Structure 1
Amino acid sequence: MADTLARDETHRLISSEKVEGTKVYNPQNEKLGTIANVMIDKRSGNSEYAVMEFGGLFGLGSDRYPIPWDMLTYDVDKGGYVVDIAKEKLTGAPRYARDDTPEYTDEYGRTIYGYYGLSYPML
C-alpha cells in the first residue's frame, strides 16, 4: 500500500489516473457525476478544467461538462471533489456528447467561465 501511495498520490499531489473516475458532489452531498478527464495547460502545467460526466445510466447517454478546476475542492472524508453547483444549474451548462470533444479555444473557455460567473484567466 505505501509503495502504491508513493507513486500515484502524496499528501499534496495526485496522479491524473487517480483523478479520473473520482466522484463529484455538491455541498448538499448529492453526487453530480464523476471526473472523466482533466484538461491541463501545456505551458503552465496547471489544471484548467475537470471534465465531469453527468447523466445517463452506467455511462450511456451521459454528457461531459467542463468545469473550471478552481471551482472544485477535494474532500478527504468523501474521497471526492465538491463543487458548489446545483444539479438544476447543470441542465443549462456548457456540455458535449461523450464522443464529440470540442476544441478548447479561448472563446469556448470564456463561455464556460462566464456560465459559472467567473472571469476567464488571461494567460
Structure 2
Amino acid sequence: MAPIAQETDHALILSSRVNGTPVFDRAGNRLGHVDDLSIDKVSGRVLYAIMSFGGFLGIGERFHPVPWGLLDYAPGHGGFVVPLDRNILKDAPNYDAVELRNLGGPSFRSYSDIIFGYYGAPPW
C-alpha cells in the first residue's frame, strides 16, 4: 500500500480540514479562522469562506462571508492569506448564526451583491 499523501502534497482538501484553518493578513497577522464554507448547490463552486473573528466562546461572534477567490493558501503560514486587514473586516458585511443561514435563501441575490460589492470581488 502506498503511503498517504500529506495535505501539502496535493491540490484537493476536504472541507472538514478547511474549517478552523487560520486566516492571516499579508503582514502575517492572524485575523481569525474559516468557520465554514458556502457552496453553490448547482455549480458546486465555493462562493464564500465563512470567516469568524471576534466574540468570546461563541458569544457575540459575527461571521464574515469572504469571497473564496480572495483567499490564498500559504503553506508557510499553515493557513490562508487575504488582501484584507482587520479594519476592512470590521466594517465588512457580517451576520450572526441565524442570519447566516438565510444567505442562501430567497434574498440570496441581494446578499451576494452586498458581499461581493463590498470586497470589489467579481461574483462567482
TM-score (normalizing by structure 1): 0.86
Q: State the AA in 2 paired with 1:100.
A: E
Report how many aligned residue pairs link the two structures: 118
- Relative to structure 1, the CA distance from residue 10 to residue 99 in structure 2 (aligned partners, 3 Å threshold; closer, same or farther) is farther
4+ residue runs over 3 A deviation: none
Deviations 1:12-45 (A, max 9, x none): 0000000000000000111111111001111111
Q: Measure, in 2, the Cα distance between the counterparts of 1:34 and 1:71.
A: 14
Unpaired runs of at least 5, structure 2: none
Q: 1:100 is paired with a residue of what secondary structure?
A: helix
Give the drift of 1:100.
3.2
- Asked if structure 2 preserves the Cα contact closer than 8 Å seen for 1:67 and 1:112, the reply is yes
Which residue identity is paired with 1:117?
Answer: G
Q: 1:59 to 1:9 in 2, by over 3 A?
A: farther
How far is the alpha carbon of 1:92 from its aligned partner?
1.1
- Equivalent residue letter for 1:33: G
CA RMSD of aligned residues (A): 1.9
CA distance in 1, matches of 2:36, 2:9: 20
Cα pair 1:71 1:84 within 8 Å, conserved: yes
Q: Is 1:106 aligned to residue 109 of structure 2?
A: yes
- Name which structure has the greater RCO, CA cutoff 8 Å, separation 6+: 2
Distance 2:99 2:115 in 1: 16
- Deviation of 1:61 (Å): 2.0
The one-letter code matched in structure 2 to 1:98 is: A
Alignment partner, residue 68 of structure 2: 69
Secondary structure at 2:99 match in 1: coil
TM-score scaled by length of structure 2: 0.85
Quick one: distance in 2 between partners of 1:48 and 1:110?
12
SS in structure 2 at match of 1:29: coil
| 1:96 alignment partner in structure 2 | 95
Q: Tell me if structure 1 keeps the 8 A contact 2:46–2:68.
A: yes
- What amino acid sits opposite 2:22 in the alignment? K
